[in-house]
Amino acid sequence: MTLLALRNVESFYGAIMALRGVSIDVPEGQIVTILGANGAGKTTLMKTISGLMDAEKGTIDFNGTRLNGMEPDKVVAQGLAHVPEGREVFPYLSVEENLRLGAYARKGGGVAEDIELVYSYFPILKERRAQSAGFLSGGQQQMLAIGRGLMARPKLMLLDEPSLGLSPLLTQEIFAIIKRLNAEQGVTMLLVEQNAHVALNTAHYGYVLEMGRIVMADSCAALKASEDIQEFYLGKQDASQRGEKRWKRRKTWR
């Protein structure tokens, strides 16, 4: 079942078209990744889905509901949680207060149980639950941002550059937990990530976004085998290409 479907979505920053007819599908229970360089439109895509930006054209359907024109708080109420680029925790609130804010719009109980679930995936947060979030390390703040998103009990999580500013070791730790959350809790995820290695090893399916348009889409296994992906996103080169200038090699999707 397709949980999220975008069809021919266009978004603008003023007169500049940031998304150019983007169409993607996110199947329920899977992790889908969006690869792309800085400025490709990845964050714009996430903001458009979550209602922080308006889609000028096209449709955004989530779990049978049209999201076009819906306010961000209403989007969250539909079961979609956005973990933005740069973490954006509430620095003067404690770790536990940040987590409780993630459940603010929920109805019913179970908040304490869900906080314990978050702590089971991120034990360091339990150790520092009374500490102000602003004093956490970058990796701990990323864990808190993901945990806060989980507190909304989302059907779909949007993860925007979770490895940003993190060491390779912390990046591996964060993505191992992302895979566990998907496998053990059944959380569907749309992952935007510039680190193509870790994204393709985590997700099931991937899209490549360049200059606001989708230029390639396939299973992550197929993308890893693609010569274009290997050279332009994974940094691999054949011996025959050594010494050649980068611009001499054209991407086949051009």
The predicted-structure confidence for 186-211, as pLDDT tens digits, reads as follows: 999 999 988 899 999 999 999 999 99
pLDDT band at 20 (very low <50, low <70, confident <90, very high): very high
CA distance 206 to 221: 9
pLDDT band at 244 (very low <50, low <70, confident <90, very high): very low
pLDDT at 252: 63
Q: pTM (2 decimals)?
A: 0.89
**Per-residue three-class SS string for 181-241:** HHHHHCCEEEEECCCHHHHHHHCCEEEEEECCEEEEEEEHHHHHHCHHHHHHCCCCCCHHH
CA distance 72 to 5: 17
pLDDT at 235: 75
Average pLDDT (17-41) is: 94
Which residue segments constitute the domains of the chain, with CATH numbers given?
A: 2-248 (3.40.50.300)
CA distance 118 to 128: 13
What distance lies between CA 136 and its chain's CA centroid?
A: 22
Q: pLDDT tens for residues 120-172?
A: 999 999 999 999 999 999 889 999 999 999 999 999 999 999 988 888 888 99
pLDDT band at 253 (very low <50, low <70, confident <90, very high): low
Residue 105 has pLDDT above 80, yes or no: no
pLDDT band at 19 (very low <50, low <70, confident <90, very high): very high
pLDDT at 241: 47
Residue 117 has pLDDT above 90, yes or no: yes
Residue 246 has pLDDT above 80, yes or no: no
Q: How many CB atoms lie within 10 A of CB 230?
A: 16
pLDDT at 113: 93
Lowest mean pLDDT: which of 6-15, 216-225, 236-245? Answer: 236-245
Residue 240 has pLDDT above 90, yes or no: no
Residue 16 has pLDDT above 70, yes or no: yes
CA distance 161 to 230: 20
Work out the percent of the chain whose per-residue pLDDT is above 70. Answer: 93
